[in-house]
Structure 1
């Protein structure tokens, strides 16, 4: 027998190493599941933000004069801001929001400031998806690495499947549990592969671009990331002049934009250096035939066109960079595309959960079942899903963002540990499904009681109905499937871990 460099190990040591390896795999999959789950929900961030503050009338259009008065009011409320932001109503989004560096406000069609824009749960959700609630620089790196891993797994999975086209629509739900799980995993992986590569790839590129920018700025621009950005996208088009000046020109610039770019109203207006002599106005205009975030036009307060960013017809790298956001979040094609992204995102979550299911079932077949790890995984999958509506309820009742973060992670971990200590994977999944359904329905009830809302607003009504119907489906599904019969480890696999 050939000699090996590795010392001989006892079976106990081998088992211990395998267990450690399994736990590390669980941790990676657990965090990846959270990233994908939060991303699927975050597709509807605009709708959820409005749902959190529903008592706002719709705004179909605003005049240039209202845009001007809105900017003046923002500067009055936030005199220290270096930028003003106005989001006028746009197609399929009849709402207006404006603010400065220190806060945003909901604005009515006549320019009245209705209330500060506060959507604590939406803020928590976005930070969860972008950074896993970690410090932003570090969290972005971790999430970007997960994006690279997802792309690698999608490509390697396709290369490892020699009959990808022939088996694309073959699905064996019955038979040996592991084979059924593997078949589900493979079919969903094939169907979602283009989506996974596009979404995970753009997410990884966004995160790694920020990391690369920090490194490149340190080595070439003395750590000044602003100089790096200016070298890529261009710098300020007006020389800085801090001489105080009245805030003017937005109404004139809007009118001139309508002449220069007819039929394309801006979806974002940014005034740089407001209240100074060098103030100027930047418009982002939607190009419906392109995936870019938007074309940018910069005007003086006299209505003169100073610069165009050429995001739509500039260098290929610039066009790709400006397309990352919309490809990643499905922010094109309206509500229908968002719904498709949401469904594909949930399918990706099922793929991740199924990967661990297959691993646990293989262990069972080899006589090395790990029921505690199975329960731990099932508790995590359904626990971190459950605590999305739980934190939403807490936000409606007034809990701050910091407490939402603590509640989510502690609650999810508690579900996982309780499942591991007290029950089987199958039973944990069924119980948490029912609780998840009740929490979703309770969101709607508490929201109606505490916040209220304009039920004639289709965005508010559809959001509430969707939450309630989804909750009802989760609550009754285990009973329809007979999921609460006694389960004996290794005997009843009708509900596998995280199914």
Structure 2
């Protein structure tokens, strides 16, 4: 079990670190998007009128589209977010509209927090490939967690043990144990629920055996969607979208979140109103479908069964949509401890196998050490560069959102390459200074280029992250005593045994 825990954690540890960091940041996905779109104000608008203007815009953009999606403005997202696509499989087009005019909003082109959210489970790869890689890593993490529980027979004693002054290596080992045990319930929950959310992709055989190539019928019978309506094959004249929003609000008791229009140019077009999920753990959205031409109600989403509701609870736990501010902060801190547990485990692997009394190291050990520095210190550099690019890139730059993402990866790669050139004994202290400086300058650039008081909390969080890296760099630069080196040598032999 010790061997299994060590090697399962190593082979996917670098990917897991990236997943944990971006997934943890996604708990504040909306706040990140607000910061990255400072032109958007918090002004309120009439959702029905905004929907009518959005429908007019979409009829001009693509009247014969396979579908439209309109996310209505609310207190958290003041803009109207629209998607449209020519075929069921895409490609998908996106725009942010000014709710007062229905025209594209004068806002910088950015993916906002959505980039980090999707990177968390797709790694900026084609969706099917990214999700499979993340799923495999999650399965291996589950193995590492279970084998780690079996390996640590003194799991409760280790939770209360932290011997930082005895030796650096002993301190890191105890920190790895404490952080792993302290957030262990969260780690088990987050990896298992993450796999459940992708279960339809990982284990599709039950669905295929019963429903064949008609997954929409499965989702309808499971209480997750409303059955589709076949197109009439002739052009139709739909009602203004705002009128359907008003009807849905009256029938559902609240303003819908999203209006989904299927076959908008057809006489048989349908408009489905999606409402915010009710309070609770289950990630389920009430839905009402209307005929686009007549405005008559067609159907409502069915009552989910026990299995569907269980899966929805798993998705709700994973995404924490139900969590108020204090609980969301707790989830965030547990995610930080998850990333720290992975990072400390990767570092311990190299420390325990470092040659004693010599500066030379084998190719495998050197490769792991460089990957550790390049990922643990390099990825935060990319993240900070991504935020800085949002403030520094020209507002009129074509494909500006793509350039922000390119800056993220370019900075990460550059930091990782630079780490291979640092002197071995000073590598960690120097590598950690770079993200420290990058995060500390974010509030400065924001104050000069934007200077909006509503972003003070975000800027303060960036400063805290930068100061944490400063502390980590100073800690890594502390010289080791002869006694500490002796303890580390004995501990390395024990770990190897």
Query: If the length of structure 1 is used for normalisation, what is the TM-score?
Result: 0.79
- Say if 1:111 and 1:412 are closer, same or farther in 2 by CA, change over 3 A: closer
| 2-structure distance, mates of 1:109, 1:493 | 68
Gaps of at least 5 residues in structure 2 are 85-92, 489-497
User: C-alpha separation between the residues in 1 aligned to 2:402 and 2:73?
Assistant: 31
Aligned to 2:90: none
- 1:174 partnered with 2:165: yes
Instruction: Tell me what 1:3 maps to.
Output: none
Encode CA deviations 1:22-42: one digit per residue, 9 max, x unaligned: 999755211111111121122
Q: How many pairs align?
A: 463
1:99 aligns with 2:90: no
Render the CA deviation track for 1:250-271: whole Å, top value 9, x for unaligned: 4444334344333x43222222
Alignment of 1:252-271 (within 5 A): 252-262=243-253, 264-271=254-261
Q: 1:135 to 1:98 in 2, by over 3 A?
A: closer
1:282 aligns with 2:272: yes
| Equivalent residue, structure 1, for 2:422 | 422
Counterparts of 2:318 and 2:143, CA distance in 1: 17
Residues 473 and 84 (structure 1), Cα distance of their counterparts in 2 relative to 1, 3 Å cut: same
Helix, strand or coil at the partner of 1:243: coil
Structure 2 CA distance for aligned equivalents of residues 268 and 392 of structure 1:
28
User: Does structure 1 residue 462 correspond to structure 2 residue 457?
Assistant: yes
Report deviation, 1:149. 1.9
Larger deviation, residues 195-204 vs 121-130: 121-130
Decide which of 472, 483, 487 is 2:477's aligned counterpart: 483
1:322 aligns with 2:312: yes
Question: Structure 1 residue 386: deviation in Å?
Answer: 1.4
In structure 2, distance between residues paired with 1:126 and 1:476? 28
In the alignment, the residues of structure 2 paired with residue 482 and residue 207 of structure 1 have an alpha-carbon distance, to the nearest angstrom, of 39
Q: Conserved in 2, the CA contact under 8 Å of 1:266 and 1:283? A: yes
Q: 2:298 aligns with which of 306, 322, 325?
A: 306
Question: CA deviation digits over 1:313-335, x for unaligned, max 9?
Answer: 41122223434543223222244
Match of 2:87 in 1: none
| Structure 1 counterpart SS, 2:162 | coil
| DSSP-derived class of the 1:282 partner | strand
Work out the CA distance in 1 between the residues paired with 2:324 and 2:8. 40
The equivalent residue for 2:54 is 70
Q: Which residue of 1 aligns with 2:440?
A: 441
Partner of residue 11, structure 1: none
Return 169-178 or 149-158, whichever deviates more: 169-178
Q: Tell me how far apart the structure 2 counterparts of residues 493 and 387 of structure 1 sit (CA, whole Å).
A: 36
Cα distance in 1, alignment partners of residues 110 and 406 from structure 2: 17
Q: Quick check: 1:148 aligned with 2:147?
A: no
Shift of 1:307: 2.2
- Give the structure 1 partner of residue 20 of structure 2: 36
SS of alignment partner, residue 96 of structure 2: strand
Partner of 1:348: 338
8 A contact 2:217–2:227 mirrored in 1: no
Which of 223, 229, 246 is the matching residue for 2:237?
Answer: 246
Q: Could you say which residue in structure 2 is the equivalent of 1:13?
A: none
TM-score (norm 2): 0.79
Q: Which one of 333, 349, 360 corresponds to residue 359 of structure 1?
A: 349
Cα distance in 2 for partners of 1:307, 1:171 equals 59
The CA deviation string for residues 339-363 of structure 1, in whole angstroms up to 9 with x for no partner, is 3222211111110111123323332
Q: Following TM superposition, by how much is the alpha carbon of 1:217 offset from its aligned partner in structure 2, in angstroms?
A: 7.6
Pair 1:329–1:103, CA change in 2 (3 A): same
Q: Which runs of 5+ in 1 are unaligned?
A: 1-17, 495-499
What does residue 382 of structure 2 align with?
387
Cα distance, 1:88 vs structure 2: 2.7
